[in-house]
Amino acid sequence: MAANGNEAAAGPSDLEKKIIRQIEYYFGDANLSRDRFLQGQVKEDDGWVPLETMIRFNRLKVLATDYEVITGALAKSQSGLMEVSEDKQKIRRSVEKPIPNDTTEVRLEVKKRTIYCKGFNPDDSLDTVQTFLDTYGKVEHIQMRRDKDRKFKGSVFAVFEKEEAVTKFLETKDLKIGENEVVKMLKDEYYRMKTDERKVRQEEEKKEKRLAREKIEQEAIEAQQADFGDYEEGCVMHFTGVSDQTSREDLKELFGQYGTISWVDFERGQTEGCVRFDEETKAASVIEKAKAANDDKLIVREKEMTVRVLEGDEEAEHWKKVYETKSKIRLRKKMGGHHGYGKGRKRDGKGRGREGGRPNKMAKYEGKKTVFNDSDDEGGEEVMAEGGEEKKDEPEKTAAAKEESTAVPSAGGDATAEATKMETEKPESTQPESSEPIKIAAKRPLEEETSEAEPAQKQVKTAD
């Protein structure tokens, strides 16, 4: 029968309201859509779940374990979400209110109703948070955010039942919780803000690393300056006015016949550069000979260039840059990497990846992880809230991975697929675990496991 019958006329007491809220959270869109344990219970008996199972849920167990108290409370619910069996031994979600499909439209709708709120005290309880948010409208789900040490960070994510409640909450000015100023925004806005802060922080870190690297390089360069000794004056010629099609080979062809060229500091597309001759070749002599052989005009690719010998401070600055470049090359070779940090290809020709060859293509993709190290007083890694208590017979879920969470029933069955990132509580396990090791068959590619339903003494035969 439906839970909200004639008994609802008297109205629920405070305790009954808490019972209704907790049970309708368990069977609500946010929790039931991703609670594997409760999903398994629902499938066993046309949606019915024994109250014997329900009273082992920790938060409900604290409120009531008497079947009559629980069913009496559900009879006063106005949401129509729950039904009670005729013998009052089982409950289920109403078949007329199935869980909405997890679609893009549903997720977007839930995002519009999900807010971030900061300003609670670290010792505030879930009930305190619930009472505060209830003043703005019905709340379907609350996620108390905790740090790595499981301490409440003073901030929550919450899903309101109606967008009107979100608007009312966000538009309230000068909002405080006790003496604490309240920081509030949509959850999406919070994530965008933290993403922008992370980008700025990363850029600052990159800048600091770059400056530190440049400082180390400069110190190493200065330490190597003495290795190059003094330069021979008058060996560098500067030119300008060449065509953007001029190449180093063109310049070598013109001046190389009048002296030994050590280096041409020039690239195609530029219109000026320098030609550096060896110590025994003076730039002035090369210029004089080249002009004498070409009617006092130096033409490359049908364009006349202007040349001069570098002298004084200009010459000293040129050689300073030359020595810096040589020092950087030495430094990078010494450090074993193309950029001085060992990030090139390995000597054996293998790039990144697992040792000895290609990356493991069978590696399982675990999804994108978003971790924000808050710069404000929250600090630490964000741990996604769990929907209640942990189930002790699920070894893969530890207490350190849980967060306290609750929700208020949805009057219209509004989807809360956004909250499906949160684990729900599970009843305590009554099934003992077998401690006897399972024997493995020899020469078989896979291990054979003994299921929970089979005796732990079952052994796998050894292959001949």
In this model, does residue 422 exceed pLDDT 60? no
pLDDT band, residue 251 (cuts 50/70/90): very high
Q: What is the structure's pLDDT at 66?
A: 93
Residue with more model confidence, 325 or 434: 325
More confident residue, 300 or 441: 300
Res. 1: pLDDT tops 90: no
Q: Are 76 and 88 in contact (CB under 8 A)?
A: no
With vertex at residue 176, the alpha carbon angle to CA 172 and CA 181, rounded to the nearest 5 degrees, is 105
Confidence of residue 197 (pLDDT cuts 50, 70, 90): very high
Tens-place pLDDT, residues 140-187: 889 999 999 999 999 999 999 899 999 999 999 999 998 999 999 999
Question: What pLDDT is attached to residue 364?
Answer: 52
Which pLDDT value is given to residue 206? 94
Whole-model pTM? Answer: 0.52
Residue 370 has pLDDT above 90, yes or no: no
Distances (CA, A) of 125 to 118, 120, 128, 257, 272: 14, 9, 5, 89, 73
Mean pLDDT of the chain: 76
In this predicted structure, the answer to whether residue 44 has a pLDDT above a threshold of 60 is yes
Give the model's pLDDT for residue 324: 79
Least-confidence region, from 7-16, 382-391, 423-432: 382-391
